Amino acid sequence: MILTRFVIIQESLLVVLFAQIFDRKVTMATTMQAVQLDEPGTSDKLYIGTVAMPTLTANEVLIKVFATAINRADLLQRKGLYPPPKGASNILGLEAVGIIEDKGINCSDKLSVGDRVLALLPGGGNAEYVTAHEGQVAVIPSGMSFTTAAAIPEVWLTAYQLLHFVGKLQKGEHVLIHAGGSGVGTAAVQLVRLAGGVPIVTAGSEDKIKKAVSLGAEVGFNYKEGSFVEKVLKQTNSESYKTALVKEFSENALPYFNVGSTHQLKTVIDTVFPLQDIGRAHQYMEDNKNIGKIVIQVRDEKQEPPRSEL
Ligand SMILES: *[C@@H]1O[C@H](CO)[C@@H](O)[C@H](O)[C@H]1NC(C)=O
């Protein structure tokens, strides 16, 4: 009798197990939508196509992408002037944000399935899913929208890297930031203040100088109005430039994006384009129309499941 019961239990377990495997197969897509380019060319050559899901390796996480962004390097890569690094995806996109869907077998416990994260990528971000090395992924502050978070990785890590890793910024130092109205410039201005330094900017228009000053620059010089070097040297102790690791950045800067924090950091977003308008987004950047970041929305934020459903 015991044996019979055991068999029955085994059978029902098997049914449940099969149902789960079957469900998983049904819900786990094998393909996804991604930005495609058949040969190098103009922005209108970009299109959205169906490709295989990326393969997860041992130290990577698989991210269900909600938003991504574009960078100058993407424009160059599109034109065939900047090949992706060896082994990287040939899909464009150096950054993405979303929810961790799966983890490679050798990942640490630092990140969990269901975490809302941002990722710095060698490529592949302009897609519905992307894999990223766990060390280049950071949990985004609670309450931050994916659209805002998508404006962070490239711009802010570049600024952080220049200031802290390259320039070894010390409290009280003056930092001269060229192109202070650019994405990296506006981030650097805020990070210099966060570190207790004094940012001074140069920019090509009064509007950009005003923007930088509103974000914390001590003073700005229009480089189109004669030599600024003399004026700047009077105010600068050091001309510092630096570089950031994701870990340090996520510990020392990321928390300051939280609303209401003492030195609140602000992303500067110019426009949000839907993924299918990727070509238009490239053209917009190529025409130098953007002041802040150009973000690409991959999924509606409303599609984000409540935490309990993950
Ligand atoms: C996972 O880590 C172990 C221990 O460091 C290593 O031996 C193994 O090769 C790794 N597996 C993969 C697939 O990288």
- Which tens digit of pLDDT belongs to each residue from 29-80? 899 999 999 999 999 999 999 999 999 999 999 999 999 999 999 999 999 9
Report the pLDDT averaged over residues 162-171: 89
Dihedral angle over CA of 178, 179, 185, 190, nearest 10: 70
Q: Which residue owns the Cα nearest ligand 1 atom 10? A: 106
Q: Tell whether 235 and 293 lie within a shared domain.
A: no
Residue 156 — φ and ψ, nearest 5°? -75, -35
Mean pLDDT, the chain, whole residue set:
83
Q: Is residue 12 part of a domain?
A: no
Per the structure, the complete domain to which residue 211 belongs is given by: 154-244
For the CA of 104, the closest atom of ligand 1 is: 13
pLDDT-derived band at 238 (thresholds 50, 70, 90) equals very low
Q: Tell whether 94 and 108 lie within a shared domain.
A: yes
Q: Does 21 have pLDDT greater than 90?
A: no
Pairing mode of beta strands 116-120, 137-139: antiparallel
Q: Which range has the worst mean pLDDT, 72-76, 136-140, 261-265?
A: 261-265
Q: Is residue 256 part of a domain?
A: no
Q: How far is the CA of 87 from the centre of ligand 1 (A)?
A: 19
Best mutation site among 56, 57, 105, 106 for ligand 1 pocket (most ligand atoms within 8 Å of CB) = 106
Number of domains, the chain: 2
Q: Does 4 have pLDDT greater than 90?
A: no
CA angle, corner 16, sides to 13 and 18, nearest 5? 105
CA distances from 286 to 82, 207, 208 (A): 15, 20, 18
Q: Is residue 217 part of a domain?
A: yes
Residues 6 or more apart whose CB falls under 8 angstroms from that of 56 comprise 62, 102, 103, 104, 131
Q: Tell whether 42 and 122 lie within a shared domain.
A: yes
Q: Which of 192, 213, 244 is the last residue of a domain?
A: 244
Q: Which of 244, 259, 288 is the last residue of a domain?
A: 244
d(CA 132, CA 77): 20
Q: Is residue 104 part of a domain?
A: yes
Answering whether pTM is above 0.85, one says no
Instruction: Read off the CATH number of the domain in which 196 is found.
Output: 3.40.50.720
Q: Tell whether 138 and 278 lie within a shared domain.
A: yes
User: What is the pLDDT at residue 292?
Assistant: 83
Report the pLDDT averaged over residues 274-294: 92
Instruction: Read off the CATH number of the domain in which 129 is found.
Output: 3.90.180.10
Report the pLDDT averaged over residues 75-96: 90
User: What is the pLDDT at residue 16?
Assistant: 41
Q: Which residue from 75, 13, 57, 55 is spatially nearest to 282, judged by alpha carbons? A: 75
Report the pLDDT averaged over residues 184-207: 92
pLDDT-derived band at 243 (thresholds 50, 70, 90) equals very low
Q: How far is the CA of 106 from the centre of ligand 1 (A)?
A: 6
Give the residues surrounding ligand 1 with Cβ less than 6 Å away: 58, 106
Residue type, 190: Q
Q: Tell whether 96 and 167 lie within a shared domain.
A: no
User: What is the pLDDT at residue 262?
Assistant: 78
Q: Tell whether 46 and 141 lie within a shared domain.
A: yes
Q: How far is the CA of 119 from the centre of ligand 1 (A)?
A: 23
Q: Tell whether 146 and 272 lie within a shared domain.
A: yes
User: What is the pLDDT at residue 12?
Assistant: 41
Q: Which of 188, 209, 244 is the last residue of a domain?
A: 244
Q: Does 149 have pLDDT greater than 90?
A: yes
| Terminal alpha carbon distance of the chain | 40
User: What is the pLDDT at residue 113?
Assistant: 97
Q: Helix crossing, 183-194 with 153-160: angle to 10°?
A: 50
Q: Which range has the worst mean pLDDT, 148-152, 227-231, 298-302?
A: 227-231
Q: Tell whether 147 and 160 lie within a shared domain.
A: no
Per DSSP, the three-state class of 60 is: strand
pLDDT-derived band at 9 (thresholds 50, 70, 90) equals very low
Q: Which two tokens stand for residue 193?
A: 């203040």
Q: Tell whether 100 and 52 lie within a shared domain.
A: yes
Long-range contacts, stretch 192-198, CB < 8 angstroms, 24+ apart: 192/163, 192/216, 193/263, 194/253, 194/256, 194/263, 194/265, 195/163, 195/164, 195/169, 195/171, 196/171, 196/172, 197/169, 197/170, 197/171, 197/172, 197/173, 197/240, 198/172, 198/173, 198/174, 198/235
Q: Does 219 have pLDDT greater than 50?
A: yes
User: What is the pLDDT at residue 226?
Assistant: 53
Q: Tell whether 175 and 105 lie within a shared domain.
A: no
User: What is the pLDDT at residue 25?
Assistant: 43
> What is the residue whose two structure tokens read 């464009």?
92
Q: How far is the CA of 103 from the centre of ligand 1 (A)?
A: 14
Q: Tell whether 172 and 147 lie within a shared domain.
A: no
Return the higher-pLDDT residue of 219 and 24. Answer: 219
Residues 6 or more apart whose CB falls under 8 angstroms from that of 223 comprise 178, 202, 203, 204
10 Å CB burial of residue 278 (0-12, 13-18, 19+) is buried
Q: How far is the CA of 161 from the centre of ligand 1 (A)?
A: 30
Return the higher-pLDDT residue of 226 and 94. Answer: 94
Q: Which residue owns the Cα nearest ligand 1 atom 2? A: 106
User: What is the pLDDT at residue 89?
Assistant: 86
Q: Which residue owns the Cα nearest ligand 1 atom 1? A: 106
Q: Tell whether 76 and 104 lie within a shared domain.
A: yes
The answer to whether 232 and 200 have CB atoms below 8 angstroms apart is yes
